[in-house]
Structure 1
Amino acid sequence: MDVPGIPEALVGALAAAARAGGPPPQRVALVGGAVRDLLLHRVHNDPWRGVPDLDLVAEGPAIDLVRRLEALLPPGALRAAQEHGAYGTVEVELRLEGQTVLLDVATARCETYPQPGENPKVVPGLLADDLARRDFSINAIALDLASGELLDPHGGQADLQRRQLRLLHPHSLHDDPSRLVRGARYAARLGFRLEPGSREQARRTLEAWPWAWHSGERPGQAPAALGTRLRMEFELLLLREPWPAALAILQDWGGLALLDARLQADRHWRRRLHWAGRAGLPLMVALVAGAADPLALAERLQLPHRQHRLLAQWLELRQRLAELQQPAAEANGGPPTVAAWCAALEAPGGSPEAVLLALVTGTAPRRPLLRWWLRWRHLKAPDTAAELIARGVKPGPALGEELRRLRERRLAQERL
């Protein structure tokens, strides 16, 4: 079977490398998204680099297949090969006929989940075992490279024709709830729906969420591995997929509850993420900001330190702005002045990005935040430090205080 977008020389070399394995014969197959997209008459490319990206599974050490493949290709065609021994995989970059192709070669494996949400226990297996461990039937189709036979033990082709996503096992989501997020990604990208039985599995799984965890880490806490997988799936959803459609689908399934019950009920995430994207803020931060406890969720998902810090800065700013606008404060001195707004927005430990996040999330009235972003933060004292020193102001705290006083006098001339 021809694989569109792949150099003919590579297709032939892969088939020859598969047939050359053994004894016993080493079965090698093209699996996953590349086969699915082939049957859908789509080219399966790496979303970041826009080049063909193929997943291969070998019965036997993946590195053996890569070595045979290199010997069959023209000299220099194999540009890089990174082996990950702990996972039995090899990442390969090839250059053939003027085209770059990426291969992810994996040793066939069998996996079991000792506890829900934990990383699975993995042992080498057969191709049939590897297909049986996958998420949806449409991703459990394989093309045997030696024989050219299409292997579909779980009815994936029928589900492709029905344009539906069907989970492979009755406990797929119980083992790994992040598969539901992946399903929303596929549903948005391919225009598929969740098969009724899988929809019912999602309902039962989410009805019992959060589970009473006993994972050997902290009683009652989800395994850290699950938090990491959820973060990775949401990052892929937000960066690689049509995220408005994918998040809407996931919310319709009830799946935002995997992050937070308030997010599941949130009807403002679309606007928040839209403005975050326009402002250059991380979409993941804008999503997590809608949670009941954003910092706890950020920790559970193990967000990068920079994103975690931005959320913390925004929460502190939100508190300052709430105090600034308290009715008691207004009764004592009227509405906040421009200088008061600037003092709150420029407090030590804050950042301009936190102000942007406050603007995106509707933390405070838009006008003063926009005025600060576009104008007030750029206003300086009319005199420079050097000019003040020349007039007799001594360097040190007094100089800083005078600069602040002069800037506040200039800000007093601004309108809200």
Structure 2
Amino acid sequence: MEIPGIPAPVLLALRAAHAGRVALVGGAVRDLQLHRVHNDPWRGLPDLDLVVEGRAADLVAALLEQLGPGVVQRCQEHGAYGTVELELSVAGEPVLLDVATARRETYPVPAENPQVSFGCLADDLARRDFSINAMALELASGTLLDPHGGREDLERRQLRFLHGGSVRDDPTRLVRGARYAARLGLELEPASAAQARATLAAWPWGWRLGDPPGQAPAALGTRLRMELELLLEREPWLAALTALQRWGALALLDPALQADGTWPRRLRWAERLGLPPLAALVAAARDPLALAERLQLPHRQHRLLVQWLELRRWLQERQGEALPVLAEHWCALLEAPGCSPDAVALALACGTGPRRPLLRWWLRWRQVKAASTAADLLAAGMRPGPELGQKLRELRAERLRLERL
């Protein structure tokens, strides 16, 4: 029997390698019910998750023996979670395969990483986020296992949490839900939507807004950032963020973002101007730098927010005063140390300050050069040194004075 999604040589090798219970689980089974191919969101390659009742490493060792060295491109074991990642090349086509020992999870501290112990296939399905991801396809028989009604939920186009504490245990499930909602056209079913609202209102996590950002639990910090990056960079982000806001879940980041109605325009501008979308989203928080620290944004994005906030402060301090009226003066401001083109772009995306001069600088003024080059001035007899640089700046300023504001 063939199982769609698993290349025939791999399926035969898996059946030969293990006599126990092995099942295809997760997104591949869900997408199979929707007649879709499940791909890794970052690499776009077929991505298969297998669960085995027994040691994953034992199954992989037997599988490698069956497949031979030419098929396996990479093999990496994660002993703490009983998982092994494989990258295979089947008939010249790459396939990603994650093999995991069936396990159960408990959350002694909400939003922290779970405690893991090994279990059976039923335990492994029960620990998942939504019913649509809690189905399995047994490799030996091809039987679909659906103990939580995922297939019916797919038919109803709805997302249903597996238990009443799902959001409390792991609030990033809401972001994953928004990704599925946008990609597959699903919506939280009423009881799950009520759970989300009640949990967010109660805020059952020990860390609260205003506490030191570095002390936030993983599901309100780094894991939340990773899910948001997937949402913004690999999904229809407008529909996904709209769902998050509809569910009240942008409050996981900041109440100001939950109340913000300008993020679609801001993110569209960020997309046009080549800005990191998560930094553009975070910019509307009450304290963007604290949120950036909590999410552990990359250094470049943190620096961008610092530069943009400084530019915003400078412009706000001059509200009601005479702002520069000449292109050369705007260039002196926007090209000063501590500013950057990306900071100006973020100011444009956020509607910071007077739009016209910022946009003209972005589109034209920063490209204006002096009428003579350094080589021209040296050929005319000027000596290298600070005077040369000053002369080039003066010549550029002369050209900028001809530019309209």
Both proteins in one fold, TM over 0.5:
yes
1:184 and 2:172 equivalent? no
Unaligned runs of 5+ in 1: 20-25
Aligned-partner Cα distance in 1 for 2:212–2:110: 14
- Aligned counterpart, 1:14: 14
- Aligned counterpart, 1:344: 333
1:246 and 2:273 equivalent? no
Aligned-partner Cα distance in 1 for 2:214–2:403: 53
Aligned-partner Cα distance in 1 for 2:381–2:74: 66
Structure-2 change in CA distance of 1:218 and 1:280 (3 Å): closer
Give the deviation of 1:237 after TM superposition. 0.6
Aligned-partner Cα distance in 2 for 1:312–1:300: 15
Tell me the matched-pair count.
403
Give the deviation of 1:297 after TM superposition. 0.8
Instruction: Please list the CA deviations of residues 194-246 of structure 1 after superposition, one character each: whole Å capped at 9, or x if unmatched.
Output: 111111100101112384439xx969952245301110111111111111111
Give the deviation of 1:79 after TM superposition. 2.1
- Aligned counterpart, 2:361: 372
Aligned-partner Cα distance in 2 for 1:298–1:263: 13
- Aligned counterpart, 1:22: none
Aligned-partner Cα distance in 1 for 2:321–2:91: 74
Aligned-partner Cα distance in 1 for 2:378–2:125: 76
Aligned-partner Cα distance in 1 for 2:251–2:274: 26
Aligned residue among 25, 28, 31 for 2:25: 31
Give the deviation of 1:327 after TM superposition. 1.9
1:164 and 2:158 equivalent? yes
Instruction: Please list the CA deviations of residues 245-296 of structure 1 after superposition, one character each: whole Å capped at 9, or x if unmatched.
Output: 1111111111111111111111111111112112211111111112121111
Give the aligned residue type for 1:370. L
Structure-2 change in CA distance of 1:219 and 1:115 (3 Å): farther
Unaligned runs of 5+ in 2: none
Structure-2 change in CA distance of 1:385 and 1:50 (3 Å): closer
Give the aligned residue type for 1:105. V
Give the deviation of 1:41 after TM superposition. 1.8
Give the aligned residue type for 1:327. G
After TM superposition, the structure 1 = structure 2 runs for residues 193-342 of structure 1, keeping only pairs within 5 Å, are: 193-209=187-203, 211-213=205-207, 221-224=215-218, 226-323=220-317, 325-329=318-322, 336-342=325-331
Aligned-partner Cα distance in 1 for 2:35–2:2: 11
Identity score, percent: 70
- Contact 1:224–1:300 (CA under 8 A) maintained in structure 2: no
Give the deviation of 1:51 after TM superposition. 2.9
- Aligned counterpart, 1:60: 54
- Aligned counterpart, 1:381: 370
Give the aligned residue type for 2:287. D
Give the deviation of 1:155 after TM superposition. 1.8
Give the deviation of 1:413 after TM superposition. 2.2
Aligned residue among 86, 89, 98 for 1:95: 89
Instruction: Please list the CA deviations of residues 112-171 of structure 1 after superposition, one character each: whole Å capped at 9, or x if unmatched.
Output: 112111111112222111111111111111112223332222222221222211101111
1:115 and 2:114 equivalent? no
- Aligned counterpart, 2:347: 358
Give the deviation of 1:315 after TM superposition. 1.1
Aligned-partner Cα distance in 1 for 2:181–2:229: 16
- Contact 2:214–2:294 (CA under 8 A) maintained in structure 1: no
Give the aligned residue type for 1:90. V
Give the deviation of 1:387 after TM superposition. 5.2
- Contact 2:13–2:66 (CA under 8 A) maintained in structure 1: yes
**TM (normalized to structure 2)?**
0.92
Give the aligned residue type for 2:326. T
- Contact 1:251–1:264 (CA under 8 A) maintained in structure 2: yes
Give the aligned residue type for 2:267. L
Give the deviation of 1:355 after TM superposition. 1.2
Aligned-partner Cα distance in 2 for 1:353–1:174: 37
Aligned-partner Cα distance in 2 for 1:358–1:282: 13
Instruction: Please list the CA deviations of residues 15-71 of structure 1 after superposition, one character each: whole Å capped at 9, or x if unmatched.
Output: 23232xxxxxx3211100111111222221223443321001112221111111122
- Contact 1:376–1:411 (CA under 8 A) maintained in structure 2: yes
Give the aligned residue type for 2:351. G
What SS class does the counterpart of residue 81 from structure 2 fall into? coil
- Contact 2:41–2:230 (CA under 8 A) maintained in structure 1: no
Tell me which moved more, 226-235 or 120-129: 120-129
Give the deviation of 1:390 after TM superposition. 6.8
Aligned-partner Cα distance in 1 for 2:398–2:62: 76
Aligned-partner Cα distance in 1 for 2:70–2:378: 67
How much is the aligned-residue C-alpha RMSD, in angstroms? 2.3
Aligned-partner Cα distance in 1 for 2:200–2:15: 44
What SS class does the counterpart of residue 140 from structure 2 fall into? coil
- Contact 2:213–2:291 (CA under 8 A) maintained in structure 1: no
1:47 and 2:41 equivalent? yes
Aligned-partner Cα distance in 2 for 1:393–1:9: 74
What SS class does the counterpart of residue 80 from structure 2 fall into? coil
**TM (normalized to structure 1)?**
0.90
Give the deviation of 1:398 after TM superposition. 4.3
- Aligned counterpart, 1:23: none
Structure-2 change in CA distance of 1:391 and 1:9 (3 Å): closer
- Contact 2:308–2:347 (CA under 8 A) maintained in structure 1: yes
